[in-house]
Amino acid sequence: MRRNAGRPRDGWEKTIESQGLAYHRTAHPEGLSRPYWDESVHYSFTMAEVLDLERQVEELHEMCLAAVEHVIATGRYADFAIPGWAAPAVAASWRRRDPHVYGRFDLRYDGTGPAKLLEYNADTPTSLVESSLVQWFWLKDVHPGDDQWNSLHERLVGRWAELRLPTGPAHFAWTNMDETGEEAMTLGYLQETAEQAGLDTVAIAMEDLGWDEAGGRFVDLEHRVVRTLCKLYPWEWAVADPFGPRAVAGQVSMTWIEPLWKMLLSNKALLAVLWEMYPGHPNLLPAHLDGPRGLDSYIVKPLLGREGAGMSVVTPGGSLRTPGEYGAEGHVYQEFRPLPDFGGGRPVLGAWVVGDEAAGLGIRETAGLITDDSSSFVPHRVAS
C-alpha cells in the first residue's frame, strides 16, 4: 500500500460532475483549501493485498451476521437503544431474512497487518457514486493499464436481479432535509443499477410518501401502493418519526432496502458485541459499552453518530472532542489506534459489501485524527 502524488486532469471538476459527483462542492464545508474529490494523490495496492483484504472483509461480514443472531437470541436491544415496541419487528425481520443489498466497512489499514474495524455503515452508506463510478473513470483516464478493487456496479446490478421483490415499481426515496444533493444522487445511482437489472422504478422524496388509511399501506403521489422502498433515511430516525409505527408494523407487506434488522449493524454497539463474541480477533479493536475498562488510549463514539461528530479521543497525552450533538442514546468505548500516516495523509478504507461478498474500495483521507465531513475522497489503483 503506497500513497502516490499525481497531476489532476484538466477540467476534472466538470468531468466528475458529468459522472454523477455533482455534490463535490456542496458536501464539503466551505473555506477548505482541499477539495472533496482529490485526485492529486491516490493509493496503490498489490493484488495480494486486495485479495487478503477481500477475505478479511467477508469474514467480518459473517461475524456481524452472527452478532445479529446473538443480539436477537439474547434480547439485547436496550444496548442498541432500540425501543422495546420495535424490537419484535426487528427480530421478525431477521428471522424472515428480509433482503439486504449493500453496506460499507470503515477500516484502519496500513498495509503491514490485519485491517481493524472502525464501524460498519450497514443501513445508509454513502460515497457510493465516487467509489463505484468516478474513481473507475479516473483509473481509465490516468492509469489505463492498471486495475482497481471495484466490482460495485456489476455486483449491484446482479444483486437487484436476484432479489425476489414484490410486484410493482420499486420506489427510491431521498429526503429533502439533505441540501447537498448527495443523497439524491446516491439514490439515483442505486435506481439506475436496479433499472439495469430489469426493475421498474420510481423516484420520490420521503416527505412525499403518503398513507392510505383504508388500505393500511404507504402510497406515492400517484396513489400507487409502495411495495418496495429503497431509502437513505436511517431506521433510527424512522422509528422515532410519527410514521415509524406504521413502517415497523408494515414490514410483512412491504420490502425495505435496507431491512429493519440492519439497525443492529449500523449501530456502534455492534463493536462491543463483536469484541465479546470474538475477543482478540485480529480484525477487531477492544470495545466496551460500560466504559474504557482500563484502556490507556480510547475513543468514545456515540452509538448513532455520523461523520465523526460528537466523538472524544482520550490518550495519556491529552484529549480531543469533535463538535456534535450525538450521544443521547449512549456510547461505545473503543481502543484508539491513530490512523496510519502516509506523508501527512491519514486514510480510512471504506470496504464495500454487496449481498454477502466484498465488492470494492473507497478511501477517505484526513490530516487529523478523526475522519469527518472535511475529509477528502481519494482514488486508488491496483498496480499491474
How far apart are the C-alpha atoms of 93 and 159, rounded to whole Å? 19
- In order of 50, 153, 161, 365, 379, the CA distances from 349 in angstroms are 12, 18, 28, 9, 11
What is each CA distance from 186 to 21, 26, 37, 70, in whole angstroms?
A: 9, 14, 16, 32
* pLDDT confidence of residue 64: 98
Q: Tens digit of pLDDT for each residue in 265-279? A: 999 999 999 999 999
Tell me what pLDDT residue 381 has: 98
Count CA within 13 A, CB hemisphere, residue 248.
24
Taking the C-alpha atoms of residue 173 and residue 175, their distance in angstroms, rounded to an integer, is 7
Residue type, 168: G
**Could you give the CA distance from residue 34 to residue 174 in angstroms, rounded to a whole number?**
28
Q: What's the pLDDT at 179? A: 84
* Beta-bridge partner residues of 37: 377
Per-residue pLDDT of the chain (384 residues; tens, 9 = 90+): 999 999 999 999 999 999 999 989 887 777 788 999 999 999 999 999 999 999 999 999 999 999 999 999 999 999 999 999 999 999 999 999 999 999 999 999 999 999 999 999 999 999 999 999 999 999 999 999 999 999 999 999 999 999 999 999 999 999 998 888 899 999 999 999 999 999 999 999 999 999 999 999 999 999 999 999 999 999 999 999 999 999 998 888 899 999 999 999 999 999 999 999 999 999 999 999 999 999 999 999 999 987 778 889 999 999 988 888 888 899 999 999 999 999 989 999 999 999 999 999 999 999 888 877 789 999 999 998
Residues 6+ apart with CB under 8 A from 104: 120, 121, 122, 125, 127, 350, 351, 352, 353, 362
Per residue in 309-325, pLDDT (tens digit) is 888 999 999 998 888 88
Peptide bond into 258 cis (omega under 30): yes
What global pTM score does this model have?
A: 0.96
Q: What pLDDT does residue 16 have?
A: 97
Instruction: Please tell me the predicted confidence (pLDDT) of residue 326.
Output: 83
pLDDT at site 9: 98
Q: What is the per-residue pLDDT for 306?
A: 79
* Rounded Cα–Cα distance for residues 3 and 186 (Å): 27
Query: In 10 A of CB 359, how many CB atoms?
Result: 26
Residue 324's pLDDT is what?
82
Q: Where are the domains of the chain?
A: 2-267+340-382, 286-335
Q: Which of 237, 228, 185, 186 is nearest to 207 (CA)?
A: 237
CA distance 342 to 346: 6
